[in-house]
Chains A and B, each alone.
Chain A
Amino acid sequence: MNIFSGLFFVIWTVFSGFMTVMFAGSIHKDVQSGSSSSWMYVILLFPLSFVLIGLWGLYTSFLGVKSGFSKKIRPKTEFAKGTTLGVFFFGLPFFVAGVGVMVFLSIVPVVKSVLAMGWDRAPAEVTHSQLKTNYDSDGNTYKADVHFRYTYEGQVYHSKTYDFQIMSTSGEKGHRKKVDSAPVGSLHDAYVNPWNPNEAVLSVKLSWVYLFTFIFGAIFAAVGGALVFSPFFKMDKGEVATKTLPKPKLTPGPVVLRCRYGGPVAKFIGLFIFTIIWDGVVLILFKQDAPVWFKGVFGFFAVIITFAFGHSFLSLFNPRPVLQASSKHARLGGSLNLNWKMRGQVQKIESFTITLIGQEEATYRRGTDTYTDRAVFHQQVMAEYPHGNIPSMGTCAIKIPRVSMHTWKSQNNKILWLIKVNGKIRKWPDINEEYEIMILPY
């Protein structure tokens, strides 16, 4: 059990659950009164997904994940991956900002609105009603500025709080609606705090702004929190000595092969998150009075990262190969049938090859460094179209060499068998995908 990550996910789940319940109640009320359609319930999927993330986090924290490590203690041990101090401080502002947005702009207003639903009611008259506009070069923001007078237990009070939404937003329509619903001279029933009659609001309705703010803040908090807390998340109880790799599951029958490193989509998502964070930091830096050289360094890397992101984005529109093998494993001396299909604009591809590769991987760990070297010992072209005219689908048979080495993995040394798909596309990122297959002993 990991205490730190468990605590984090308990708090995450509680807050997400609270938000879900509050908005479910509000939507249910609107649907019952006929002011909203039943389709509104679908919006609950957003906060619900955060609840599911929290539950998953609780599961992995308290029940753990099988690591396949033996429990013997040995002086030379290996450790889970962590973050450096730099990444900690890099993630900290995002985490703090995200939590701040979630708590002060979403959770607190929602809690206050719910509590205010139980306050006393008092007759109120609107004395001032105006749409306040904050002009900004990045875009205007608006806020409903409504003042009212109310009488509570024989005394007259004044309040400037329409509801608990403290933030100005770019949504003019929503704020205009508030102003239109409370013109000067209109009469309403205000909600008055019985313990502090100076505090009163005209509306306790839960706004969609709270939900979107919660989601927005949660994303920042999650990304920042992952960077800040990953050393604690990765600290488990187990002791690592010799690593016993789990036996592979042999899957009979045809199987669609999966790209070894998650494919272009996973690469794009990873780069997207990283680019957003890095470029966001750079934008803030450029608005501040940081030294020029400092801005230059960050800006330079921002350009590189943005280019890499652009490259990965373009790769998404590449024709994608889908490989189906007759089985995920074959034996030395045996064969494997491969059906391949190309999705997308195949005519863009100038040349195309599918190759079977046998590869050694050796990792040397010494001091604080780790080096991994690779060497190809077998290369066999299975399908080749060097001059274009690539068909949208095809089939080929792989003959696995008999006198060779099967798939084998130990802690520092591996023998891998891969199917590599390469496609050259003019003025566009090339196709370079790898699929691992298992070759069993003869």
Chain B
Amino acid sequence: MSEIFINLRQLSFKPNDEIKGSVHWVLDKEPKDIAVRLFWYTRGRGTEDLSIVGSVSVPPKQRGEADFHFSIPAGPYTFSGKLISVIWAIECVANPSDECARQEITVSPTGEEILLGQDYDKT
């Protein structure tokens, strides 16, 4: 049975931080390629948007372990409003079997998901 694990020291990051982690996998068959990606995607009322911010290839072996690191951009933050949620994640995908593992992370200056609409105030 195939297994992919993504290991991160922390799950909360600030913009412009570095993400360092490792991935280890055991696959049923030798893959053609394995990629680790940092991306964000939207959920909510609107059609989904997705943007891959960084991608690295790791050795396409049937089992193995590899380190990765990415630089987080200044934005967008992880947030939820009424219509839109933006979610950051790291994903490891093996082709052509499409086996994958995904780990959601938080990218925000406060270390927590930004909730919009909480500060509806007047000056």
Contacts and interface: CB of A to CB of B under 8 A. Distances in A.
Direct touch of chains A and B (CB < 8 A): yes
Contacts of B86: 413
Contact of B119 (A366, A373, A403): A403
A405 interface: yes
B75 A362 contact: no
Contact of A441 (B15, B44, B47, B82): B15
A206 B121 CA distance: 69
Nearest to A408: B76
B123 A380 contact: yes
A399 interface: yes
Contacts of B120: 376-379
Nearest to A362: B46
Given A380-B121, A403-B119, A405-B81, A412 B114 contact: no
Contact of A363 (B47, B114, B117, B123): B47
Interface string A374-396: 11111111100000000000000
A405 B117 contact: no
A410 B116 contact: no
A377 B117 contact: yes
B49 A411 contact: yes
Given A380-B123, A403-B119, A408-B75, A375 B83 contact: yes
B79 interface: yes
Contacts of B74: 440-441
A361 B46 CA distance: 8
A373 B46 CA distance: 8
A263 interface: no
A399 B121 CA distance: 12
Contacts of B45: 362, 364, 373
A382 B123 contact: yes
A403 B121 contact: no
Which among A366, A374, A377, A406 has the highest number of chain B CB atoms within 10 Å? Answer: A377
A405 B83 contact: no
A360 interface: yes
Nearest to A332: B109
B83 A412 contact: no
A66 interface: no
A401 interface: yes
Contacts of A358: 116
Contacts of B15: 441-442
Given A375-B81, A405-B77, A408-B75, A364 B116 contact: no
Given A403-B110, A405-B77, A441-B15, A362 B84 contact: yes
Contacts of B51: 410
A364 B123 contact: no
Interface centre among A399, A413, A441 (most CB of B within 10 A): A413
A415 interface: yes
Residue with the greatest number of chain A CB neighbours at <10 A, chosen from B46, B77, B114? B46
A381 B121 CA distance: 8
A380 B42 contact: no
Contacts of B9: none
A404 interface: yes
B82 A406 contact: no
Interface string B37-49: 0000010111111
A157 to B, nearest CB: 76
Interface in B35-87: 42, 44-49, 51, 74-77, 79, 81-84, 86
Given A378-B120, A399-B123, A404-B119, A410 B42 contact: yes
A380 B122 contact: yes
A405 B109 contact: no
Contacts of B109: 332, 441-442
A365 interface: yes
Contacts of B116: 358, 360, 377-378, 404-405
B116 to A, nearest CB: 4
Contacts of A440: 74
A292 B71 CA distance: 69
B84 A413 contact: yes
Contacts of A374: 83
Contacts of B114: 403-405
Given A360-B83, A410-B51, A441-B74, A401 B46 contact: no
Nearest to A384: B122
Interface of B: 15, 42, 44-49, 51, 74-77, 79, 81-84, 86, 109-110, 114, 116-123
9 contacts: A362-B44, A363-B47, A381-B123, A382-B123, A405-B76, A405-B79, A406-B77, A413-B44, A442-B109
Given A360-B116, A364-B46, 12 more contacts: A332-B109, A360-B84, A361-B46, A364-B45, A373-B45, A377-B116, A399-B123, A406-B75, A412-B48, A415-B84, A441-B75, A442-B109
A-B residue pairs, 3 tightest by C-beta: A362-B46, A377-B116, A410-B49
